[in-house]
Amino acid sequence: MERVRASVMLCGGTGCIASGSLKLKNALDNELKNRGLEKEINVVFTGCNGFCAQGPVMTIYPDDIFYEKVTIKDIPIIVEEHFIKGRPVERLMYKEPLKKQTIPLMRDIPFFSLQVLRALRNKGLIDPEKIDEYIARDGYQAAAKALTEMSPEQIIDEVKRSGLRGRGGAGFLTGLKWELCAKVKGDQKFILCNGDEGDPGAFMDRSIMEADPHVVLEGMIIGAKAIGANKGYIYVRAEYPLAVQRLQLAIEQAKEYGLLGKDILGTGFDLDIEIYLGAGAFVCGEETALMRSIEGKRGMPRPRPPFPAQKGLWDKPSVLNNVETFANIPQIILNGADWYRSLGTEKSTGTKVFALSGAINNIGLIEVPMGIPLRKIIFDIGGGIPKGRKFKAVQLGGPSGGCIPEHLLDTPVTYEDIVQTGAIVGSGGMVVMNDLNCMVSVAKFFLEFTTDESCGKCPPCRIGTTVMLDLLTNITEGKGKEGDIELLEDLSNDIISTSLCGLGQTAPNPVLTTIKYFRDEYESHIKDKWCKTGVCKELCTFYIDEEKCKACGACKRVCPQAAVIGEKKVPHKIIQEKCIQCRSCYEACKFDSIKIGPRSMREKLMETTDQEALKEKQIMALAGAEDQ
C-alpha cells in the first residue's frame, strides 16, 4: 500500500453541500483516479468546516492550505498544481477583506486562529459517518471512564465543578440540573437532547450534529449514567435531514460497537437512544413543550413546578440539555473540571459556539472563550462589515434576544454581562446589522416571528405580542402616534412578568432594546413620519443631491423602474411617480449623492421632476422615430 502524502478535508456540511461540495468530491475522486493519485491523496468528506460564507471549502493537510469557493473547474487545476507540481493555487486561497497582505495558511487566518475549539474540536477533521475516525480522536474514552471508573455522584460533581451552563439559552448549571434529577427516585428516567434550534440565523446545533454526531451520543451516555436513565431521545427538527441521517447512522454504529444498548462495555449499564422528529415549532425549544411533543401531544408549555427533573417526559424524571451542552461533557470528564474552567470567567466558564450572520464579512460558525469582547468577535474573527458600511447593532440571543449598539461592543460575552445590556446569550445566534438597517423594522421582524410562533396557551403572550405587533406595524406605516413608545414599554413589561414560558417572557426583548438604544428612530417614525434608513417605504423619499451627483449612471443602471433620469455629465433626478423606494440607487451610489428624506418631500419633488420626465419621454420618442 502506498503512503498517503496528503489529506483533503472537503466540507460536507449543509451549506457547502448546497453550494455543490458533493459534486466536487465526485470530481476530485475521479481526477485523482485518472492521475493515478487515489492512493496517495486521501479525500475526507467532513462535516461543517465553519467558514460558511466561503463555501465550498477544503483544507489540505499537512500543508495547512485552505481553499475557498472551489468550483468543478478548479479541481483539475488543484490536482495538477498542488498535488503534482507542489504549488498551491493562490487565487483559491483566502484573502482578508479590505487588507493587503501575503496569502495566509489556514492557521494564520483570523477566523480560525482566534477561535478555541472544544465543543467543535472535530469539525472539519473527521468523516462524521465513520465511528472509527471519532474513536481515533479519543472518542468514547470519556464514556468508558464514566461507566467503568466513576460513580454517578462523581460524574455530577465533575460537571458541577466545571461550571458548565446549559448552552440552549437559559444558562442553567448543567451539573445542578443533573443532581436534582439524580436525587429523585423512579423506576424510569429519561435523558433528552434538544436539537430543535428554531432561532432565525442559528445553525450551531445543526453543524455539531452533522459534523460530530458521536459526541452528542457520548455526552448523553455520560448524562444517562449520572441521573440513572436507560432511555434517551434526540429531538431534531425535520428540516435538518442531513443531521438526522448522520445521527441515525451514528446510533446504529454505536450499537454495533457495544456503546449503546444492553450491557454497554460489559458494565451492566443499558441505554437506548431514539431520534424524534419535530415539526418546526419554535415553542418546542421550551423543555416542557418539547416533552409534550415527544408524547404525541401538541407542543405547549406547562406550568412549573413540578420541574422536569421531578416530572418530565410521561411524568417521569427527565433531564433535557441541548446539543452543544452534551458536546462539552466528554471533554470535561476526560480532562477534568479544572481544565474546562481554565477558559472563560468565574461564572461563565469554558467556550461558547456562535453562528455569525447578517452584515458581516465572515459568515460562519465560531467557538470562542466566554468573556471575549463582542468587538473582537465582530471585527477580528468576523472580519468587520462588508463594503465599508458602518456597524449599527448586533442581535444576540435570537428573536428572544436584544439588539446591542456600537458603544457597547466592548461588553464581555458572559451570561451576566450580556443580560445587563438587555439581550441574552441565548443559544448562540449573532446577527450583525449595518447602517442600512431600520431598528424599528428589525424589532417588528423579530416580533412577527415570536407572535406567529406563540402556542397561544397564555393570554399575555398570545394577545400581548399581537397588540405590540400592531403598534409596530402602524409606526412603520406612518400611523404611529404620541404615546405609542411608552405603551410598547408598558406592554413589554407586563408580558415579561406574566407569560407562562420563556417565549413570552423574552419576546419583548428586541422591542425594549431598540427603544432603549435607538429611541430617536422611533420618534422620527412617529413625529416626523420619516424612516431615515429608507427601509419603511411609507416613510421615505429618495432624491438626488445635484451638487454631489457625478452623473456616473450607477443609480440609473440598477433602478428596476427606470425612475432615474439624466444625461451623461449632467446631475440625475428621480421621478417620484415611478420610484418604489427599493433603495437600489441608494446602495449603488458611491458618492453619497442619493439622499433619503421624509415622505412629505415627495409632493414638492414631484412638481420639480415633471418637466424632466416630460423631456426624457420626448427624447425617447425622438430616438424611436429615428430608428424607424
Averaged over 484-492, what is the pLDDT? 96
Sequence letter at residue 598: P
State how far the Cα of 10 lies from the Cα of 48, in Å rounded to an integer: 9
CA atoms within 13 A on the CB side of 360: 31
- SS3 (DSSP) at 146: helix
| Parallel/antiparallel/unpaired status of strands 58-61 and 6-11 | antiparallel
Q: Which three cell numbers stand for residue 54?
A: 466561503
Helices (H) and strands (E) in the chain, counts: 25, 17
State how far the Cα of 343 lies from the Cα of 330, in Å rounded to an integer: 16
Please write the tens of the pLDDT for every residue from 337-348.
999 999 999 999
Specify whether the CB–CB gap between 395 and 506 falls below 8 A. Answer: no
The pLDDT mean for the chain works out to 92
Q: Which three cell numbers stand for residue 519?
A: 429611541
Sequence letter at residue 320: L
Q: Which three cell numbers stand for residue 253?
A: 454504529
Sequence letter at residue 444: K
Q: Give helix 204-211 / helix 213-227 axis angle, nearest 10°.
A: 100
State how far the Cα of 271 lies from the Cα of 266, in Å rounded to an integer: 13
397: phi then psi, degrees, rounded to nearest 5: 100, 15
88: phi then psi, degrees, rounded to nearest 5: -55, 145
> 3-state SS of the chain: helix, strand, coil percent to 5?
45, 15, 40
Averaged over 61-82, what is the pLDDT? 95
Averaged over 590-605, what is the pLDDT? 88
Q: Supply the pLDDT for residue 1.
A: 40
State how far the Cα of 516 lies from the Cα of 370, in Å rounded to an integer: 25
State how far the Cα of 557 lies from the Cα of 553, in Å rounded to an integer: 6
CA 410-109-417 angle, to 5 degrees, is: 20
Please write the tens of the pLDDT for every residue from 376-428.
999 999 999 998 899 999 999 888 889 999 999 999 999 999 999 999 998 88
Question: The pTM is what?
Answer: 0.91
Averaged over 78-85, what is the pLDDT? 95
